[in-house]
Amino acid sequence: MKALQILTICLVTTLTGTNLRGENGYRLWLRYAPVTDPQHKEYVSGILEHVVISGANPTAEVIAEEIRKAGLGMLGSPAVCSGDFSDRASLLIGTPKDCAPLATEIMKKQLEGLGGEGFYIGHVSHRGTEYLAVAANEPVGALYGTFHLLRVLQEGSVLADLPVKEVPRIRYRLLNHWDNLDRTVERGYAGFSIWDWHKLPVYIDPRYVDYARANASIGINGTVITNVNANAYVLSSQYIEKVAALAGAFRPYGLKVYLTARFSAPVELDGLPTADPLVPEVRKWWADKANEIYTAIPDFGGFLVKANSEGQPGPQNYDRTHADGANMLAEAVAPHGGIVMWRAFVYSADIDVDRHKQAYDEFVPYDGEFRDNVFVQVKNGAIDFQPREPFHPMFGAMPETALAPEFQITQEYLGQGTHLVYLAPLFKECLDADTYRPGKGATVARIIDGSLYGRDRSAMAGVANIGTDINWTGHPFGQSNWYSYGRLAWDHQLSSEQIAEEWIRLTFGADPSLVETISEIMLSSREAAVNYMTPLGLHHIMAEGHHYGPGPWVSRGRPDWTSVYYHRADSAGIGFDRTASGSDALGQYAPEIEKAYSDPETCPDEYLLWFHHLPWDYTMKSGNTLWEELCLRYDRGVKMVSRMMDRWITVENRVDRERYGQTLMLLKIQEEEARWWRNACLLYFQQFSQMPFPEEMEQPEGDLQEYMKGRSPYPPSGRRRR
């Protein structure tokens, strides 16, 4: 019945046009929708009446263009912008060196400590007149301040509690694209890569500028445009010229380009007999290559490296350490101010130890041996971007090394392009986790932003979900994850609720009931996915290779790529024992965490089966047996998605018809696939528990053998692993 209702709604909105005018989502959160409230329209008009943007530089030009777009969209006519100060000005934007009214000692004092990217929004007096100002030490700071101001105006808010002073908490705020030179995207679910290498460097697609603009609006200042499974050819002279063209398009928006470096590039590109990082000829090759890149791209950011992981070459091929390899590259880019992001996602089937422990074992012994311009890039959890993981034990265990968290914005394990899963709660769960190293309050956020150790180096990386789909991210709500990652990289103290409300207001509108309804959907969505996929600490039980859909039965191939390696279900129970009596992975955490999590009675339910193998009749905190609780969690996940869809249907007349219909159909897929996950997993696990399903839940339907055959020979993005 619900399916018929959805089909009817979609047909009606398509054929009759009774809903709001359709939007394809291309404008993201920068819609600058017309202001309909008369009072707020007057307020916005007063601010944008005559804007003075100082400075003769490309960033000042894009600020002026942004102000014009905002005026045209919100007020119906472009805002008046000029480069010369006039007493008729309603808003001043610029730096003290370019704008006389901002060059006062009072303003210079206000800008102290804001660095090059921070900004000030407040009032400034000049010749007896007070003006609203967006001021910064550098043009890019003024750009960030402009986007902050326009965000407030778009949200339907006013500038309260002035002055506003902000500076990013993280210095390097990067997107990692897993884009290949053939334009396929590994773990990409929104079309092909937006980088059209064939037409570069001559043809600059306007989308490149829109991409840079979107990133600048949320504070992202770096983009790694190539896959971590790197192709050495991107370091060739031909491709450096193409990359330089992209860098030129991005530069006015403060967005720097980075590249992935294939460790064997000296051998593959120029025929050196070795890539040993301690061989002088190899070190010279990388130094020369860095010089070549920086000659073409003076603000090149540096290299991201995946080495000795999943078949990628690295220093261990030559009996060298990760520090040896990272430091060689860091030495090459250091004279130019570049950095190296060295990924810690390493594990081997040849090592008979819990995969959870391997990165820690490989990197922690080398704490303090990495150069100052090296960041060790650590996934938020120790396995691989699962729906829920405890924070990686490396956080807090390497006080002498700059660590950068790597989050996955693309939803490889979370329904990919078809499930609505708002990821800010996942990001926050990691950032707010207390490592207890060196003591209570040592959160992951304080470790990575440098404040815990008094370090001025900090970085964060997010694996992009961007492609050629007209709305950039495939699923309309995938945009919220790009947005929330950028906002948290700028200020990790923002809450999931605050970011969701911002994004909804910018993307759909500021109607309070609309914001409340969509917020409810978004804020429940991640927990719903955990429940219908991997509740109570289960993990890595997805389908083989493409990772789409359930696969708790996967058992063939190398053990650490199977599901049975992780859930270990048998007649005695389920879960992975990582206590001292098992793999002892808990021993890699601080004693406070090890003690609390080693006891099933004090271990949080959400991580119970991550750290414990427990009997099916184990009594949970709820009073249910483990089997009953597992079943009810799976069923709760399905019910939560049904609730999400029911709530979405109520916004039909308050959201444009195109995005409303897209989201409704995708929620229908998600509801069906939540049942698929629940039924397949519970029917599989019931073989071991030999216990009935609780009567209060919807009873799983279907035949296990049919589920085990899989759904389609062509799943979304069946490309190789990361």
Q: Any idea how long the chain is?
A: 722
Please indicate, yes or no, if residue 250 is contained in any of the structural domains.
yes
Give per-residue pLDDT as tens, 657-711.
999 999 999 999 999 999 999 999 999 999 999 999 999 999 999 999 999 998 7
How far is residue 8's CA from residue 95's CA, in Å, rounded to a whole number?
Answer: 56
Task: Return the pLDDT at 119.
Answer: 98
Task: Please state the rounded mean pLDDT for residues 252-280.
Answer: 98
My answer on whether 159 and 176 are in the same domain is: no
How far is residue 529's CA from residue 673's CA, in Å, rounded to a whole number?
Answer: 10
Please give the structure tokens belonging to residue 291. 């010089």
Q: What are phi and psi of 594, to 5 degrees?
A: -55, -45
What radius of gyration do the chain's Cα atoms show?
26
My answer on whether 183 and 136 are in the same domain is: no
How far is residue 10's CA from residue 563's CA, in Å, rounded to a whole number?
Answer: 38
From 131, 148, 166, the end of a domain falls on: 166
How far is residue 381's CA from residue 388's CA, in Å, rounded to a whole number?
Answer: 8
With the C-alpha atoms ordered 288, 290, 291, 293, is the resulting torsion angle positive or negative? positive
pLDDT score of 5 more than 90: no
Please indicate, yes or no, if residue 407 is contained in any of the structural domains.
yes
User: Which DSSP category does 375 fall into?
Assistant: E
Q: Which domain holds residue 443?
A: 172-504
State the burial class of residue 106 (Cβ atoms within 10 Å of its Cβ: 0-12, 13-18, 19+): exposed
CATH number for the domain that contains residue 121: 3.30.379.10
Q: How many CB atoms lie within 10 A of CB 386?
A: 27
User: Is 489:424 a contact under the CB 8 Å cutoff?
Assistant: no
My answer on whether 203 and 94 are in the same domain is: no
Q: How does residue 12 score in pLDDT terms, banded at 50, 70 and 90?
A: very low
Q: How many CB atoms lie within 10 A of CB 510?
A: 19
Task: Please state the rounded mean pLDDT for residues 328-357.
Answer: 96
Domains identified in the chain, total number: 3
Q: What are phi and psi of 130, to 5 degrees?
A: -100, 135
Secondary structure class of 68 (helix, strand, coil): helix
How far is residue 679's CA from residue 634's CA, in Å, rounded to a whole number?
Answer: 9
User: Which DSSP category does 698 fall into?
Assistant: P
Please indicate, yes or no, if residue 515 is contained in any of the structural domains.
no
From 110, 137, 166, the end of a domain falls on: 166
pLDDT score of 414 more than 50: yes
With the C-alpha atoms ordered 54, 57, 59, 64, is the resulting torsion angle positive or negative? positive
Please indicate, yes or no, if residue 721 is contained in any of the structural domains.
no
Closest CA to 254 of 101, 66, 88, 49: 66
pLDDT score of 128 more than 70: yes
Q: How many CB atoms lie within 10 A of CB 166?
A: 18
How far is residue 31's CA from residue 72's CA, in Å, rounded to a whole number?
Answer: 11
My answer on whether 444 and 468 are in the same domain is: yes
My answer on whether 39 and 177 are in the same domain is: no
Q: What global pTM score does this model have?
A: 0.96
My answer on whether 179 and 158 are in the same domain is: no
Closest CA to 64 of 73, 75, 53: 53
My answer on whether 354 and 439 are in the same domain is: yes
Type of residue found at 684: Y
Task: Return the pLDDT at 720.
Answer: 45
User: Is 385:412 a contact under the CB 8 Å cutoff?
Assistant: yes
My answer on whether 399 and 475 are in the same domain is: yes
Please indicate, yes or no, if residue 306 is contained in any of the structural domains.
yes
Report strand pairing: 459-463 vs 172-176: parallel
Closest CA to 453 of 402, 393, 391: 402
User: Which DSSP category does 396 fall into?
Assistant: T
Q: How does residue 349 score in pLDDT terms, banded at 50, 70 and 90?
A: confident
My answer on whether 569 and 643 are in the same domain is: yes
Task: Return the pLDDT at 257.
Answer: 98
pLDDT score of 13 more than 50: no
Please indicate, yes or no, if residue 256 is contained in any of the structural domains.
yes
Percent of the chain beyond pLDDT 90?
92
CATH number for the domain that contains residue 326: 3.20.20.80
Task: Return the pLDDT at 717.
Answer: 61
Please indicate, yes or no, if residue 186 is contained in any of the structural domains.
yes
Q: How does residue 7 score in pLDDT terms, banded at 50, 70 and 90?
A: very low
Please indicate, yes or no, if residue 699 is contained in any of the structural domains.
yes
Percent of the chain beyond pLDDT 70?
96
- Known catalytic residues? 310, 384, 412
pLDDT score of 571 more than 80: yes
Q: How does residue 15 score in pLDDT terms, banded at 50, 70 and 90?
A: very low
State the SS3 of 540-597: CCECCCCCCCECCCCCCCCHHHCCHHHHCCECCEECCCCCCCCCCHHHHCCHHHHHHH
Q: How does residue 21 score in pLDDT terms, banded at 50, 70 and 90?
A: low
pLDDT score of 334 more than 80: yes
My answer on whether 154 and 209 are in the same domain is: no
Secondary structure class of 376 (helix, strand, coil): strand
Q: How does residue 2 score in pLDDT terms, banded at 50, 70 and 90?
A: low
Task: Return the pLDDT at 80.
Answer: 85
Task: Return the pLDDT at 716.
Answer: 73
Type of residue found at 378: V
Mean pLDDT of the chain: 95
CATH number for the domain that contains residue 633: 3.90.1330.10
Q: How does residue 22 score in pLDDT terms, banded at 50, 70 and 90?
A: confident
My answer on whether 565 and 625 are in the same domain is: yes
From 166, 195, 229, the end of a domain falls on: 166
My answer on whether 546 and 648 are in the same domain is: yes
Q: How does residue 9 score in pLDDT terms, banded at 50, 70 and 90?
A: very low
Continuous H helices in 261-311: 265-270, 280-296
Q: How many CB atoms lie within 10 A of CB 715?
A: 16
Closest CA to 176 of 447, 610, 482: 482
Type of residue found at 616: W
Q: Kindly report which listed range (343-352, 564-573, 581-590) carries the lowest average pLDDT score.
A: 343-352
Cα 104 to Cα 98, 116, 506: the distances in Å are 12, 18, 35
